[in-house]
Amino acid sequence: MWRCCRAVASRFMCTSTSTSTSTSTSTSISAVGWWDHVGLAPKDPILSVTEAFLADTNPYRINLGVGAYRDDEGKPIVLQCVRNAEAKIAGSDFMESHSNAVSSKLVEESVKLVYGRDADVVKEGRFAGVQALSGTGACRLFAEFQRHFYPESQIFLPVPTWSNHHNIWRDAQVPERTFRYYHPDSKGLHFRALLDDIKNAPNRSFFLLHPCAHNPTGVDPTEEQWREISLALKAKNHFPFFDMAYQGFASGNLDKDAQAIRIFLDDGHLVGCAQSFAKTMGLYGHRVGCLSILCMDSKQASAVKSQLQQIARAMYSSPPVHGLLLVSTILSDPDLMALWVEEVKVMANRIEKMRATLRENLERLGSPLNWEHITDQVGMFCFSGLSQEHVDRLSKEFHIYMTHDGRISMAGVTTSNVKYLANAIHEVTRSTKAA
Ligand code: LMR
């Protein structure tokens, strides 16, 4: 290393100007070699899809990568409730970074969305809640908290799961384990295997669950299955941590999509939950979210909250204020809240309609494959079953971009591109044998 630094340094010295003093030269010697060992990071499997799409100038290009909502014109939207909230906060005195009262309001209203307005844990203040940098920030904060207070613990992630979960717990230095979730043959839930894996995990393990609109598969357990999952976790004293990034997108109804979490509450679990408003309020760029951890009583909740705040303080101090104001304004104003509920339904319905249309088109083309799973799966994603080779052909030959695992962000499908998409999928799969 030293030799290599010296070699680089001597190259540098040859080109340096004669006015350098010997002190500045030795500073330069060490400055030159600092990052020689740093290579390019691997591309993010989701964000790199957008990069590839943006680099393509073909007029038929389609981005089915990132799971952010798009309207039927393929454009990101600003919800009307957000516009109204913006008008309401315009000119308000919100530049001060420590808007504790607003942040508490956001947390107070967010927890009602997941645990229920009248839930005992909410009424009794038995939750430690903090504003977080969207779902990623909430997960990361929890992972750090987990490592601080359970340094020997691991996190059990479903197979498959959102690719960033792996990064988040890896960087928090919490070892990852997995549990079976999805069955590629049925393109549905691998339910018995999932229960077995819960049973076989060491007692008091941490399990990450997607309460609705599972990312990337779009496969959710039924209500009955959630009840069994909850009891299986309870029997082993496992800790359920929910990543709630798509509340409302599975069924179009916020309460219905929180059903899994409410089942766990009824069974007496203490759970954790990461919430994001990136997709459901179309605020991806604002990074607004909430992390909550249920506790035995309010005293314990204060202690847990203080620790979360301290971890956040060292990582980013406090989150930005503008998005926070938008979300807390919407959640605490009954009219804006009602408008948001309607708008979530509209977004969920559009996605559902595109699922049906895509399937219809593929069937009309006489595809040899079964496409029922397109409409069986729910939420923003369709785990299409397309292979990496199919995905590569779709991008190269048809300018259609999705993640390598064949995940389709249904939000990118529109009335005007669905036919083209179905034709392209049919073209790349027509010689594939049905399972
Ligand atoms: C996705 O899975 O596409 C979304 O959660 C967006 C993201 O940040 O990865």
91 has pLDDT over 80: no
What's the 270 CA to ligand 1 centre distance in angstroms? 27
Q: For residue 196, which amino acid is it?
A: D
The pLDDT of 193-215, averaged and rounded, is: 98
H or E stretch covering 182: strand 182-183
What's the gap between Cα 64 and its chain centre? 16
DSSP one-letter string for 292-310: EEE-SSHHHHHHHHHHHHH
Which residue in 187, 279, 340, 371 is the catalytic one? 279
Residues 289, 139: Cα–Cα separation, whole Å: 10
Residue 31's pLDDT is 67
313-347 burial code (b ≥16 CB/10 A, e <16)? eeeeebbebebbbbbbbbbebeebbebbeebbeeb
Which of 105, 187, 197, 243 is labelled catalytic? 243
The reported pLDDT for the residue numbered 79 is: 97
Active site residue 345: no
pTM of the entire structure?
A: 0.91
Q: List the structure tokens of 298.
A: 């309010």
Tell me the two tokens of residue 156.
Answer: 């059990």
Pick the atom of ligand 1 nearest to 245's CA.
Answer: 5
Taken in order 246, 249, 252, 257, the sign of the CA dihedral is negative
281-300 mean pLDDT: 96
Residue 103 pLDDT level (bands cut at 50, 70, 90): confident
412: CB partners within 8 A, 6+ apart: 62, 63, 64, 65, 70, 74
Dihedral over alpha carbons 381, 386, 387, 391 (to 10 degrees): -80
The stretch 67-92 carries a mean pLDDT of: 93
In angstroms, what is the span from residue 323 Cα to ligand 1's centroid?
A: 18
Question: What does the alpha-carbon distance between residue 32 and residue 405 come to, in Å, rounded to a whole number?
Answer: 40
Give residue 387 CA to ligand 1 midpoint distance, Å.
20
Average pLDDT over residues 312-333: 92
End-to-end CA distance of the chain, in Å? 54
User: Which residue has its alpha carbon closest to ligand 1 atom 1?
Assistant: 67
Q: In the structure, how many helices (H) and strands (E) does the chain have?
A: 18, 13
Using the mean position of ligand 1's atoms as its centre, give its distance from the Cα of residue 412 in Å: 13
pLDDT at site 378: 97
51-72 confidence digits (pLDDT tens)? 999 999 999 999 999 999 999 9
- Beta-bridge partner residues of 176: 155
Identify the band that residue 17 occupies on the pLDDT scale cut at 50, 70 and 90.
very low
Q: Is 243 a catalytic residue?
A: yes
Mean pLDDT score of the chain, rounded to an integer? 91
Q: At residue 269, does pLDDT exceed 90?
A: yes
| Cβ contact 137:164 at 8 Å | no
Ligand 1, atom 4, lies closest to the CA of: 67
Catalytic: which of 105, 162, 187, 340? 162
Q: What residues does 400 pair with on adjacent strands? A: 62
Q: In terms of C-beta density within 10 A (0-12 exposed, 13-18 middle, 19 or more buried), how is residue 11 classed?
A: exposed
Question: With b meaning 16 or more CB within 10 Å and e meaning fewer, what string describes 57-73?
Answer: eeeebbbbbbbbbbeee
pLDDT at residue 23 above 70? no
Q: Which of 189-198, 254-263, 310-319, 380-389 has the weakest average pLDDT?
A: 310-319
Residues near 154 by Cβ (< 8 Å), separated by ≥ 6? 174, 175, 176, 177, 205, 206
% of residues, the chain, pLDDT over 70: 91
pLDDT, tens digit, 9 for 90 and up, residues 357-389: 999 999 999 999 999 999 999 999 999 999 999
Q: Tell me, in angstroms, the distance from the centre of ligand 1 to residue 174's CA.
A: 21
CA of 46 to the centre of ligand 1 (A): 7
Spatial distance between the Cα atoms of 333 and 338, rounded to a whole number of angstroms: 9
- What was the pLDDT predicted at 432? 79
Pocket perturbation via mutation, ligand 1, pick of 48, 66, 280, 286 by most ligand atoms within 8 A of CB: 66
Does pLDDT of 109 surpass 90? yes
20 pLDDT tier (thresholds 50, 70, 90): very low
Q: Which two tokens stand for residue 216?
A: 């990337």
Q: What is the per-residue pLDDT across 150-201, written as a single tens digit (0 to 9) for each?
A: 999 999 999 999 999 999 999 999 999 999 999 999 999 999 999 999 999 9
Torsion, CA 210, CA 216, CA 219, CA 221, rounded to 10: -20
* Ligand 1 atom nearest to CA at 47: 9
Segment 234-250 shows an average pLDDT of 98
- Residue 6 is predicted with a pLDDT of 40
State the CB neighbour count (10 A cutoff) for residue 28. 14
Residues in the ligand 1 pocket, defined by CB under 6 Å: 46, 66-67, 162, 164, 215, 245
pLDDT at 100: 76
- From the list 346, 45, 371, the residue with the least C-alpha distance to 216 is 45
Ligand 1: which residue has its CA nearest to atom 2?
A: 67
Ligand 1 nearest atom to the CA of residue 403, by list position: 3
CB proximity list for 338: less than 8 A, separation 6 or greater: none
Counting ligand 1 atoms within 8 A of each CB, the residue from 47, 164, 217, 408 with the most, and so the one to mutate, is 164
Q: What is the pLDDT of residue 29?
A: 56
Q: How far is the CA of 9 from the centre of ligand 1 (A)?
A: 42
User: What gap in Å lies between CA 208 and CA 211, rounded to an integer?
Assistant: 9
> Which of 63, 134, 161, 162, when mutated, tests ligand 1's pocket best, judged by the most ligand atoms within 8 Å of its CB?
162
